[in-house]
Structure 1
Amino acid sequence: MTTIKLDLTGLKCPLPVLKTRKALTALRGGDRLEVHCTDPMSLIDIPVLIRQTGDQVDSATRSEAAIVFVITKAATADRADD
């Protein structure tokens, strides 16, 4: 399992969600993506994206400095255990 950190601080909607989607396509099932952003809309947009992709938000934390999402990429059908 790999964890990739994605720094999207300073970017405004829709860039955080678009860049998160692109980063998720490069991951394998079980890999994690740690997304750091500052756009308040990402609190809505990124969870909606994750519901659409079938991946999982493990945590979403907000501080004065940033919003941090930890996302686990779902296993693909051909890699799932039987």
Structure 2
Amino acid sequence: MLTEPIPADESLDTTGLYCPIPVIKTAEKMKGLPVGTVLEVISDDGGIEADLPAWCVGYGHDYLGSFRDGACWRLYVKKNAVD
């Protein structure tokens, strides 16, 4: 877990959405981004901390970590794979 947020190129707010929708929305957002882009995903879904890193491994992206911000998580993904 990160101790503070990290700079991100793009942000995706999935607050109020629950498994598997935050990961699906993340996948959709990543498709339009260039390789090397850091995406911040904001979520209040407790399962996102396990789901997003697993998705990153499966699709070739780097999971950079998460930061707890009140009731929400801020999770960071770096795009490595080409669509």
TM-score band, normalised by shorter chain:
0.7 to 0.9
Per the normalisation by structure 2, the TM-score is 0.81
Larger Rg: 1
Deviation for aligned residue 1:8: 0.5
The match for 2:48 among 42, 53, 56 is 42
Q: CA deviation at 1:62?
A: 2.0
Letter in 1 for 2:56: I
After TM superposition, give the deviation of residue 64 of structure 1 in Å: 2.9
Q: CA offsets per residue over residues 30-49 of structure 1, 9 Å max, x none?
A: 11111000000111111110
1:15 equivalent to 2:21? Answer yes
Q: What is the correspondence of 1:1-82 to structure 2 with a 5 Å cutoff?
A: 3-74=9-80, 76=82
Question: Helix, strand or coil for the counterpart of 1:9?
Answer: coil
Output the aligned Cα RMSD: 1.5
Q: Which residue identity lines up with residue 13 of structure 1 in the other structure? A: C
The count of residues paired between Structure 1 and Structure 2 equals 75
Task: Give % identity.
Answer: 32
* Native 8 Å contact 1:20 1:35 kept in 2: yes
What TM-score do the two structures reach when normalised by structure 1?
0.82
Letter in 1 for 2:32: A
Structure 2: where are the runs of 5+ without partners?
A: 1-7
